[in-house]
Amino acid sequence: MSSIISSNRPGGGIKWQWPSIHPEGRKFLLIAAIVTLCFWLLGWEIVGWLMFGVTLWVGAFFRDPVRVTPTGGDVVIAPADGLITQIAEVAPPPEIAGADGLGEAPMLRVSIFMSVFDVHINRTPVAGTLRKLVYIPGKFLNADLDKASEENERQHFVVERADGVRIGFTQIAGLVARRIMPFVTMGAELATGQRVGLIRFGSRVDVYLPVGTTPQVLLGQRTLAGETVIARIGQAAIIDGIGQ
């Protein structure tokens, strides 16, 4: 797939387009459509219309819109669509701590909660080499709970930039989510905003920022995967906002 090169320079324009359906979701969309058709053929119109609504939702859940990713060398991009529900200083997860991971020092964790209505394709927040990819089986607690980071099924990523700075992020399954799927493998060279995985259905993504970096997003703010700048490496300015 070719990349879209964009800027804020004057001139030109762009038109809205329907997002594509990710290949992983096409089989579910087909199943829902077949079940819907069967109910209509049987004359069960009420159930058929309900299933038609489910079919539309399945298509929306697996939508994979094009995103325009800022390419500044210091930016950290949101890996998920959703709501910023937690910003906390925590120790890095033991599975990706240590000298070959994120180290041992406490770091700021930004948690993004994805509802079943959000896009669920996750993207890497920075460009670099995928140094760690660790899958941990676990529970399926509400992904909005703090302990979900330690008890739920999850998958950790550590990406090392060309300058040696490492960013960690974690896909966390939730109450409804029952499968975490990676699209990449250890050692892969990733571009900022590249698609790296999918969680079915409803979940959370945590981002672990390097020491000395403060989030440039606020609690209650919504993010777009591959587009929203959630931090700038080395920038520690605190920002405030107003809900309105």
* Cβ proximity of 129 and 163 under 8 Å: no
Query: 45-83 pLDDT, tens per residue?
Result: 888 889 888 888 887 778 888 888 988 788 999 999 999
Per the annotation, the verdict on 203 as an active-site residue is yes
Which one from 2, 7, 149, 203 is the annotated catalytic residue? 203
- Give the per-residue pLDDT at 1: 44
* Cβ proximity of 203 and 171 under 8 Å: yes
Mean pLDDT value across residues 172-190: 80
- Give the per-residue pLDDT at 29: 85
| Cα–Cα distance for residue pair 222/43, rounded to 1 Å | 42
* Cβ proximity of 193 and 64 under 8 Å: no
**Predicted TM-score (pTM) above 0.85:** no
Query: 16-53 pLDDT, tens per residue?
Result: 777 777 787 788 889 889 999 998 888 888 888 898 88
- Please provide the size of the chain in residues: 244
* Helix-then-strand count for the chain, H and E: 3, 15
Q: How many other β-carbons are positioned within 10 Å of the β-carbon of residue 156?
A: 22
Query: 111-143 pLDDT, tens per residue?
Result: 999 888 888 899 999 999 999 999 888 665 555
| Cα–Cα distance for residue pair 46/76, rounded to 1 Å | 47
Domain 75-232 - what CATH class? mainly beta
* Cβ proximity of 243 and 220 under 8 Å: yes
| DSSP bridge partners of 108 | 89
